[in-house]
Structure 1
Amino acid sequence: MTEGLRERKKRQTRQRVSEVAIGLFVERGFEHVTVAEVAEAAEVSVNTLYNYFQAKEDLVLPPDRASPQRLADIVRDRPPGESAARAVLAHLREEVRHRDPKLGLTEGFGRVFAMMRAAPTLTARLGDLALQMTDALTAVLAEETGVAPDDPLPRVVAYELGCFHSLIYTEIGKRVEAGQSPDTIAEAVLELLDIIEDLLGERVLTYAVREEPPCSE
């Protein structure tokens, strides 16, 4: 569907406000910049800012890019014949190869990452987000496999996938702080994903394989 003029203007305004906010947060620290100051610098009203971002933390971690449904959506969208684990691995590899900004694989992200680590409310948001991702993935795996409500397997698998997903972000952050280039980080993370796949084991790698659709007559 083609983006309309109104939608494009909204997207551009949202992006401009976020960029202005992150610039201020990096310069002065997340805790030392108010929403009103962001709105003034972005030349919008405070009410307009809140129409786009419900909380100050959303200016750095917007729900559409830092969604609790991230892992669940990856698994929901996997093709027939692919397991949940292999879907997550494949998706992460694709993001790394394309230097997806969501992973922080862009020049200049080091200062943004340092700002985030220095802000307790942002680090708490990231911790909560990881737990929410795992819970959402657990629900999807339980529904797709049709297990009993008290079956622990979906949660065990979801937590294992959630842990290696968090590990990838931790590894990227560590290397960003060390000043490595996006290309160097990407190469190291792809090697780490290969190690993770080797260690997961067949039971996890073959769990929740999406069935092929029935053949039509």
Structure 2
Amino acid sequence: MGVGLRERKKQETLRRISAEAIRLFVERGFDRVTIAEVAAAADVSVNTVYNYFPAKEDLVFPGGDALPDRLADVVRTRPVGESAAGAVLAYLREALRSRDREIGLAEGFGRVLAMMLATPALAARLTGLGEQMVRSLAVVLAEETGAAPDDPLPRLVASQIGWLHSLVYGEVGRRVLAGDRPDDIAESTVDLLDSVEWLLGDRIMSYAVRES
């Protein structure tokens, strides 16, 4: 069943508000732009902005409710025979090879990232998001492996997977800010993942393999 007209209009409004907000934030700085100015630029009311984005920071992190579960969702939906770490590596490789906007390889992302890192509230949100991803993933790993409550392995493995996820985003961000070409960034970061897989070793790469 296709998406209804009402839902399409809702998604169009959400994208327009977010796009206008980010444009203003990049041009003038996050703290110097008001919600009223974002609403005017997007041709909507202030209440409409708050309906879609309860907090100002949410304008930079659309779909924020789903973000903390990103790694957990990748692991939950992995195919039979795939480990948790293997699933995340495969997800990151595909995102890099397809130049996915989600991973930061979109045109103009360097300016957006610079704005985010220069804003304490957004930088803190990024750090907190990574921590939430690890906690959510640790819960999934504990459930799937039947680990005892005092077993540290799910948390330790989740931390390593969170590290490799942060490593990739950090590498992409660093090179985007340096002005490197997206194709060059993607190719070299895929190569970096090969080294990461070797570094993680069999113990982590074989942990929580999905069974039939």
Relative to the length of structure 2, the TM-score reads 0.98
Do the aligned partners of 2:175 and 2:185 also contact (CA within 8 Å) in 1? Answer: yes
**Pairs within 5 Å for 1:21-60:** 21-60=21-60
Do the aligned partners of 1:65 and 1:102 also contact (CA within 8 Å) in 2? Answer: no
Match of 1:172 in 2: 172
RMSD between superposed Cα atoms in Å? 1.0
Do the aligned partners of 1:83 and 1:209 also contact (CA within 8 Å) in 2? Answer: yes
Do the aligned partners of 2:58 and 2:64 also contact (CA within 8 Å) in 1? Answer: no
SS at match of 1:201: helix
- Structure 1 distance, partners of 2:3, 2:64, is 17
- Structure 2 distance, partners of 1:89, 1:63, is 23
- Structure 1 distance, partners of 2:65, 2:135, is 18
**Which digits, 9 at most, give the CA deviation of each residue in 1:90-127, with x for residues without a partner?**
00001111111111101211111111111110000000
The structural deviation recorded for 1:13 is: 0.4
- Structure 1 distance, partners of 2:124, 2:23, is 21
Match of 1:139 in 2: 139
Q: Does 1:182 align with 2:182?
A: yes
Matched residues, percent identical? 64
List runs of 5+ in structure 2 lacking aligned partners.
none
The structural deviation recorded for 1:63 is: 2.9
- Structure 2 distance, partners of 1:137, 1:38, is 35
Match of 1:61 in 2: 61
- Structure 2 distance, partners of 1:49, 1:24, is 15
The structural deviation recorded for 1:156 is: 0.3
Aligned length: 212
Do the aligned partners of 1:107 and 1:181 also contact (CA within 8 Å) in 2? Answer: no
**Pairs within 5 Å for 1:113-132:** 113-132=113-132
The structural deviation recorded for 1:181 is: 1.2
Q: Which 4+ runs in 1 deviate beyond 6 A?
A: none
- Structure 1 distance, partners of 2:178, 2:66, is 24
Match of 2:85 in 1: 85
- Structure 2 distance, partners of 1:163, 1:204, is 13
- Structure 2 distance, partners of 1:184, 1:139, is 36
Amino acid across the alignment from 1:165: H
The structural deviation recorded for 1:36 is: 1.1
**Pairs within 5 Å for 1:178-217:** 178-212=178-212
Do the aligned partners of 1:69 and 1:136 also contact (CA within 8 Å) in 2? Answer: yes
Relative to the length of structure 1, the TM-score reads 0.96
